[in-house]
Structure 1
């Protein structure tokens, strides 16, 4: 069973869809990153995507890069990720996925990482730079532990690669709405709608769209055709500029796009 899939299914069955919120561990401080994650959960975010800072974040935009580099400069360690998950899940029931580049998991040890994530109360992993064809070790570890495994799909993905992503993902498939790095954009790429349609044809159960969503209106538009909307840079910017209260306010506003909260 997948806690993430259960939440998404509940939201879809209720006629709306899920709001997924990204924040990095350790920004602006470790304690504030935990408080911010709890705050967005209490403000309407349905699934938390907790990013592990990495020294070479090639897929992240400038807002998230700046935040993660600050966390690293403050002494972030991988163990802090598990501690953050533990502290968040002790306070809210929202499922927490870690988002991480694959090299830190390999360095830590895949089996050990999976076990420590389960022990902390985590729901699974989003692995942006790991493709299913190279994920045998993670597929085995997640099968053993029951952790969710979220793989990415892009507009450039072949039909065969989309089918494979659907086959091995658990929780949802992450549909990348634009080509390139993360960051809020004034318009969510129209390619997202076509990508979600192709994932439906490939048999996907749940797919959430990310990269570039920053307003309640964009959340509403995405949920017209997808099961979830993923917001990152807009939340990180709010946390950077106004602290925990500001990120809670932005999350509450974004949640109005689901039609569940006013």
Structure 2
């Protein structure tokens, strides 16, 4: 479950995280607000702008991680910009808050060694988002030094895409990722409904839901818990059907 940090007061945010966990979220991906969230669509960009407008976004994010990590395994999702000045220091802060890993979605190639060394020293996993445009020949370099899992976007569009994803192409991409790495494969981006999540689930090891939760979380947090429960029920039903088969 993707949750942008800092949308609400600390007390309200803790309550919302509790509700999402109780509704069925198995993992939290906490988003650190960014002014240039180029891979995200309008809903998550608006959430980031709101979080940034409240100030102290890093402190708020670390507090959110601290609480979320007491409920479910928690990772930070971020862009490179907030980390670039002192990745070693920030990796330690993030680890101390309780995160198990950090996924930097736009990690520059020339910064990969610097970031992975900092994360490894802090004891953090370094999951990697692998663009769908990555060729088979390019996969070994793309997955090198990744740990925790690989993230395979269900859509090539920005987050919040609501059209029909190309599921055969996604299945093929996940197969190629598994041939290149033993890491689990997580999917997200464009998984807009519980029914679609259930269709993608057999191909991936886990599903991350973002925009369908972030929208109501910003305006009606109780509704966010209801949406979370609907996704969880669809995914658990799919797991039961696969097991029975």
TM-score by length of 1: 0.84
Are 2:162 and 1:182 aligned? no
Q: Which residue does the alignment assign to 1:136?
A: 113
- Specify the SS of the correspondent of 1:178: coil
- Once the 2 structures are TM-superposed, how far is the Cα of residue 250 of structure 1 from its aligned partner? 0.8
Select the residue among 60, 65, 74 that pairs with 1:85.
Answer: 65
Q: Which residue does the alignment assign to 1:36?
A: 16
Distance 2:108 2:232 in 1: 31
Are 2:178 and 1:200 aligned? yes
Q: Aligned residue pairs: how many?
A: 238
Cα contact 1:165–1:173 (8 A) shared by 2? no
Cα contact 1:209–1:228 (8 A) shared by 2? yes
Distance 1:34 1:188 in 2: 33
Q: Which residue does the alignment assign to 1:124?
A: 101
- Once the 2 structures are TM-superposed, how far is the Cα of residue 112 of structure 1 from its aligned partner? 0.7
Select the residue among 136, 149, 156 that pairs with 1:159.
Answer: 136
Distance 1:23 1:226 in 2: 21
- Once the 2 structures are TM-superposed, how far is the Cα of residue 168 of structure 1 from its aligned partner? 1.6
* RMSD of equivalent CA atoms: 2.0
Distance 2:36 2:13 in 1: 21
Cα contact 1:176–1:211 (8 A) shared by 2? yes
Distance 2:68 2:3 in 1: 12
Cα contact 2:28–2:68 (8 A) shared by 1? no
Distance 1:160 1:207 in 2: 19
Select the residue among 145, 151, 155 that pairs with 1:168.
Answer: 145
Q: How does 1:171-250 map to 2 (within 5 A)?
A: 171-190=148-167, 191-243=169-221, 245-250=222-227
Q: Which residue does the alignment assign to 1:45?
A: 25
Are 2:71 and 1:97 aligned? no
**More relative contact order, 1 or 2 (CA 8 Å, 6+ apart):** 1
Distance 1:29 1:186 in 2: 34
Cα distance per residue 1:60-93 (max 9 Å; x no partner):
1001111111111122421221121112223x1x
Assess, with a 3 A threshold, how the Cα gap between structure 1 residues 135 and 164 changes in structure 2: closer, same or farther. Answer: same
- Once the 2 structures are TM-superposed, how far is the Cα of residue 255 of structure 1 from its aligned partner? 0.5
- Farther off after superposition, 55-64 or 164-173: 164-173
Structure 1 residues without counterparts, runs of 5 or longer: 1-20
- Farther off after superposition, 34-43 or 231-240: 34-43
Cα distance per residue 1:219-241 (max 9 Å; x no partner):
11111111111110000112123
Are 2:7 and 1:27 aligned? yes
